[in-house]
Structure 1
Amino acid sequence: MTNKQYGKKQWALSDGYIPLQSTGREPDFVSSDKVSILNTSFDEATITIILYFMDGEPAGDYKFKVKPERVRKVRINDLIDPHAIPLGVSYAGVIESDVPVVVQFTKQNSAQKELAIMGTKAYPAD
């Protein structure tokens, strides 16, 4: 099998927001923002996420790995070290990788009984 490296090393997220309340059953229907990271290379990807807020200092560096030829899904809600992400606050972010990856950003908002899910690709920044 030939190795193809799809994606970019830098990605930007511009519309993050996790509501304070959720109406869905935990954990499946709790409001959340997620990133799905696809690594098609033969090399492990080291991922760094930094989040930016309208008021306050940036949060990060959140670091994790994505194994070669794998996908990893990370809930932004679960990023707690070095700083837990506040609910009910708008944010944006930057994702950096040491190998090219593809990033998809997904939102699940269950603040109302009618569930809404939206998926978008993050913006490749490099």
Structure 2
Amino acid sequence: MRKIGKLDWAFSGGRIPFESTGEEPKFNSHDKIAVLNTSGETAEIEIFIFYEGREPVGTFEVEIKAQRLRKIRINDLIDPEAVRLDRNYGCYIRSNVPVVIQFSRMHTGQNANAIMGTMAFPAD
């Protein structure tokens, strides 16, 4: 299968809502990335989180097996430091093989839940 995607990705509109309603963990408010690896080898990605007014946090390391999709909740990134809730953040993702990355958010802090998704920015 053909490798598609890019090695470097970024998004700047991150913010994990603090408030959640409904059953945990399914209905916790969260940000998520979906990583598609069409290559024949494992993708080893490194994630860096950028905040306003402080140094970046990272490296969070995640593997995506060959020819697989993996969804990663940003809320679950805790080592080296948990991603802060209710704070604006940006994210830079670097991979050893080309991947495709989509960003999404689920906000369940009120009775009417909201979900949004967008492609991350593919850097050359």
Give the structure-2-normalised TM-score.
Answer: 0.97
- Cα deviation code 1:42-63 (max 9, x no counterpart): 0111000001001222111000
Give the AA of the match of 2:95: S
Does the alignment pair 1:39 with 2:37? Answer: yes
- Cα deviation code 1:6-54 (max 9, x no counterpart): 1000001110001111122211111000001000000111000001001
Give the structure-1-normalised TM-score.
Answer: 0.96
Secondary structure at 1:77's aligned position in 2? helix
Give the AA of the match of 1:60: G
- Cα deviation code 1:41-95 (max 9, x no counterpart): 0011100000100122211100011100001111000000000011110000101
Identity of aligned residues (%): 48
Q: Name the counterpart of 1:111.
A: 109
Secondary structure at 2:13's aligned position in 1? strand
- Measure, in 1, the Cα distance between the counterparts of 2:94 and 2:78: 18
Q: Name the counterpart of 2:62.
A: 64
Aligned residues: 124
Give the AA of the match of 1:10: D
How far the C-alpha of 1:112 sits from its partner, in A, is 1.5
Please, which runs of 5 or more residues in structure 2 have no aligned partner?
none
Secondary structure at 1:19's aligned position in 2? coil
Secondary structure at 1:23's aligned position in 2? coil
Does the alignment pair 1:19 with 2:45? Answer: no
- Measure, in 1, the Cα distance between the counterparts of 2:100 and 2:117: 14
Give the AA of the match of 1:37: V
Aligned CA-pair RMSD: 0.7
- Measure, in 1, the Cα distance between the counterparts of 2:46 and 2:75: 16
